[in-house]
Amino acid sequence: MQTCISLYGINKRDMFSKACEYGIRASIFIATNSSKGIRVGIKDVAKEIDSPEPFTAKIMQILTKNGIIHSAKGVGGGFEVSNEAVKTIKLIQIVDAIDGDKIYRGCGIGLKECSEAHPCPVHFEFKKIRGLLHEMLSKTTLEQLASGVKKGDFFLKTLNLE
């Protein structure tokens, strides 16, 4: 089941909506903690991904409804991803749950009408890029991303170099 939201639109310079970016970051953060047997609450998720708590809660509802994240209520509750699920969840599932498939269909320069028969100036090059993006999202697992964060190869926060 797919639920699309547009709490914030996609900015022309951004690949994904803000909600999708937060959803990807939240999923990685939760998976990283789940591998240590830790459930995380909404406050921790919002703080880690630098997102307003109410906005984060809406994103978490979508991820939970789409079976990407599991939510446990009550004392000791929070969000988690099972060890089995983290191996099979692909990045494309998170993107599709939040943004839908418009990133694979839209015109590279935002024209309303753009097709094989009536292409924009970047249509055919952008089509190749969309294909590569789709392939990467389809192959990349949540486990790969969480593992990279745990090892210190990848980061979820921007370094403060001030």
Reported as a single tens digit per residue, the pLDDT across 29-66 is: 999 999 999 999 999 999 999 999 999 999 999 999 99
Helix (H, G, I), strand (E, B) or coil at 145: helix
75 belongs to a structural domain: yes
At position 3, the amino acid (one-letter code) is T
The rounded mean pLDDT for the chain is 87
44 belongs to a structural domain: yes
CB 17 within 8 A of CB 96: no
Residue 114 burial (CB count, 10 A): 20
- The separation between CA 1 and the C-alpha centre of its own chain, rounded to angstroms, equals 16
Domain count, the chain: 1
In the predicted structure, residue 102 carries a pLDDT above the cut 70 = yes
91 belongs to a structural domain: yes
Give the single-character DSSP code of 10: P
Q: pLDDT above 90 covers what percent of the chain?
A: 71
Place of tokens 């024209």: 111
Output the CA–CA distances (angstroms, integers) from residue 30 to 57, 106, 126, in the order listed.
14, 31, 33
136 belongs to a structural domain: no
123 belongs to a structural domain: no
Q: pLDDT above 70 covers what percent of the chain?
A: 88
93 belongs to a structural domain: yes
- Give the DSSP H or E segment for 137: helix 123-139
- Domain of 93, in residue numbers: 18-99+141-151
Q: What is the pTM of this model?
A: 0.84
80 belongs to a structural domain: yes
Quick one: three-class SS letters along 13-75?
A: CCCCCHHHHHHHHHHHHHHHHHCCCCCECHHHHHHHHCCCHHHHHHHHHHHHHCCCCEEECCC
| CA-based nearest residue to 5, from 73, 86, 99, 72 | 99
Residue 158: what pLDDT? 61
Helix (H, G, I), strand (E, B) or coil at 141: strand
73 belongs to a structural domain: yes
In the predicted structure, residue 88 carries a pLDDT above the cut 50 = yes
> Could you tell me the CATH number of the domain that includes residue 29?
1.10.10.10
